Amino acid sequence: MARKTKESPAAATRIHDQTLIRGNGGELHQLAEGDTPVLTTAQGGPVSDDQNTLKVGARGPSLIEDFHFREKIFHFDHERIPERVVHARGYGAHGYFETYESLAAYTRADLFQRAGEKTPAFVRFSTVAGSKGSFDLARDVRGFAVKIYTREGNWDLVGNNIPVFFIQDAIKFPDVIHSVKPEPDRAFPQAQSAHDNFWDFISLTPESMHMIMWVMSDRAIPRSYRFMEGFGVHTFRFLNAEDESTFVKFIWKPKLGLQSVLWNEAVKINGADPDFHRRDLWQAIQSGNFPEWELNVQLFDQAFADSFDFDVLDPTKLIPEEILKPIPVGRLVLDRMPDNFFAETEQVAFMTQNVPPGIDFSNDPLLQGRNFSYLDTQLKRLGSPNFTHIPINAPKCPFAHFQQDGHMAMRNPVGRTNYQPNSRGEGPREDPVRGFRSFREEVAAPKMRLRPESFADHYSQARQFYNSQTGPEQKHIAMALTFELSKVEEPVIRERMVAHLLNVDEALGAAVADKLGMEKLPKPADAAVPPRDDLPASPALSIIENGPASFAGRKLGVLVSNGCDGDVLTALQAAFAKEKAIVELIAPKVGGVETKDGTKIPAHHMIDGGPSVLFDAVALVLSEEGADRLLREATARDFVADAFAHCKFIGFTPAAAPLLAKAGIAPDADEGLTVLEGSASVSAFVEQCRKLRLWAREASVKL
């Protein structure tokens, strides 16, 4: 039992004793020795279960009467003003969605009825943890939110570039985000998960292990929005005209293939250009190189759901593409930037509950919580229930309702009657045929706070993901875990994390423990369900295995000097333009250079502001005199050394060899270096660049 004790307010601020807790009235209560404070609601009511929302049975829908969840998510949604609590740093673009073929057999959603029809769309990409002013290349999940303005209302597919999530139940969302945000007593680190609070939470939340593998992989540091996948994360339903249900998972696949950067690159890019992803999307669209993704669906019935190894309602699990092949059903093209960033990208409001008739929800408890939460978020951010009056959020189809008044109302019902039913026959009426209908799922079970047993395997898919990575990708995961955990000050947290990693892969856990200087390995963490080792590798989970077949959409950086060979430069520009790639010139001065035949060429960057980390491959087109001058420039040496260390392909004219030597690189160090002499060598260089990286080099380079 707690008893009151008197203490002056000034003295109370100096107390750092966990046996004292403060009541809502400011009074202090002392706990008996060994007691732990009881978790309560803001009204003081003791909480029996803070891990699970109240549901109908273990796998049924969540209940609106769950006042503890409502209060918790309500408070969380209103913690920040005016930027988003999560996904604060974002960038968006307009475009359209084009349907390939009719999906009427599966869904009555209007946008999937007519082949070739184009529907307006708006997409917002984002990071999760950082503030609006943070940098683009934080190690983080990327939001991939799509608003499609269909003929029957807006459809918001509010997803990420990772198909699973940290938690299984929405009641834990405030906790995971609190843990990854800057620590509240010191307000840092910003946009980073490498600190005690995050890893303390993760080490106590085994369900996060699958997501941790993704976030510690190169998926969390994408090269560009244009080169990353998007996922709806949850299991949804398609409903056809006969209300027959088909489960569906949504996947966006980039036409340009997958690509990420190395962590060492990300750190340097954030210093050289913290707006790297924003600038990339802007430049691509402004130059007419419109980014494009295909929407793929995984369709399955109840029989498949019942036979699958894992619960399809568990948001920490995925269905491997080798088991259920994704079907392309349409394409998304982004072809126009917003006229005003704030009016559109900042004020756009995405909500998972925005679905047209023919798309419905599953009982995924994380999805159920998101459906409930998002209205609060929009009210807090945009200041009014009338946020749908803002043009970016307004539907582009006819609409009619009786909602009126409120702050910033731009339109109200016209006439005398603003209610329904009414005897005048005025105003809109419901339409049982065209209107949204939920799947008639029979649910009968006791009300309870319980995690279903089918959600209990937290390691098997994490192991499958790790085993699906190529050698370089596995190495990067180990390096990321080592870096992150090296920033954790409390040894017990590091030990708990290694114990979890041993359940994912023994060699991975041992390697991380060794790098952290742990003298002995802990025993593997207790697993509610023993991890399986019979799940086959899924090549679809690897970035390297799903890279591009060309250098299209990528960027070549060419370091030039006065007196350089204009013919080689022209050949490079022509060859990479044919490849649909961008060529940018870097020179000692941004004013440019003069080639050996006297032609003046402006540069895009000066050497101090155009490091090689900004490019996917580099070329050195230098004269002997120009190379000699650049030997005295530390930034020129770094330009070459970083490109080599980051496993990029390098082309160079013979006069540039001394600069390679200055960076400690032999001209014939490996197959990734090409001497540029004539058109044949330029063609060979383009062919090499299509591979993006020479991963074989990585083993010999110590960053």
| pLDDT score, position 138 | 98
Residue 86 phi, psi (nearest 5):
-125, 165
HSE-CB of 179 using CA atoms within 13 angstroms? 20
Cis peptide before 472 (omega within 30 of 0): no
Q: In 3D, which of 295, 290, 293, 294 has the Cα closest to residue 335?
A: 290
**68, 87, 234, 646: which one is catalytic?**
87
Q: Write b or e for each residue in 459-478: b if 16 or more Cβ atoms lie within 10 A of its Cβ, otherwise e.
A: bbbbbbbbbbbeebbbebbb
155 versus 10: the higher-pLDDT residue is 155
| pLDDT score, position 429 | 86
CB atoms under 10 Å from CB of 379, counted, come to 17
| pLDDT score, position 30 | 65
| pLDDT above 50: residue 10 | no
Question: Which of 36-50, 63-77, 396-410, 624-638 bottoms out in mean pLDDT, i.e. has the lowest?
Answer: 36-50
Cis peptide before 530 (omega within 30 of 0): no
Q: How far apart are CA 82 and CA 185, in angstroms?
A: 21
| pLDDT above 90: residue 692 | yes
Bridge partners for 146 per DSSP: 123, 157
Strands (E), 161-316: 230-231, 236-239, 245-254, 292-300
Confidence class for position 12, pLDDT limits 50, 70, 90:
very low
pLDDT > 70 fraction of the chain, expressed in percent and rounded: 95
CB atoms under 10 Å from CB of 242, counted, come to 6
| Mean pLDDT, all residues of the chain | 93
For the chain, the domains span 55-389, 461-544, 548-700
SS3 62: strand
21 versus 539: the higher-pLDDT residue is 539
**422 Cβ partners below 8 Å, 6+ apart?**
none
Confirm whether 87 is a catalytic residue: yes
pTM of the model: 0.91
CATH topology classification for 55-389? Catalase HpII,  Chain A, domain 1 (2.40.180)
| pLDDT score, position 22 | 53
Confirm whether 363 is a catalytic residue: no
- The per-residue DSSP string of 90-117 comes to EEEEEEEEEE-S--TTT---GGGSSTT-
CATH number of 548-700: 3.40.50.880
Q: In 3D, which of 461, 428, 491 has the Cα closest to residue 168?
A: 461
Confidence class for position 29, pLDDT limits 50, 70, 90:
low
Q: In 3D, which of 289, 296, 355, 346 has the Cα closest to residue 321?
A: 296
Bridge partners for 675 per DSSP: 652
**52, 154, 160, 270: which one is catalytic?**
160
CATH of 461-544, picked from 1.10.150.570, 3.40.470.10, 3.30.420.40, 1.20.1370.20, is 1.20.1370.20
| pLDDT above 70: residue 496 | yes
Q: What are 391-408's pLDDT values in tens digits?
A: 999 999 988 888 888 888
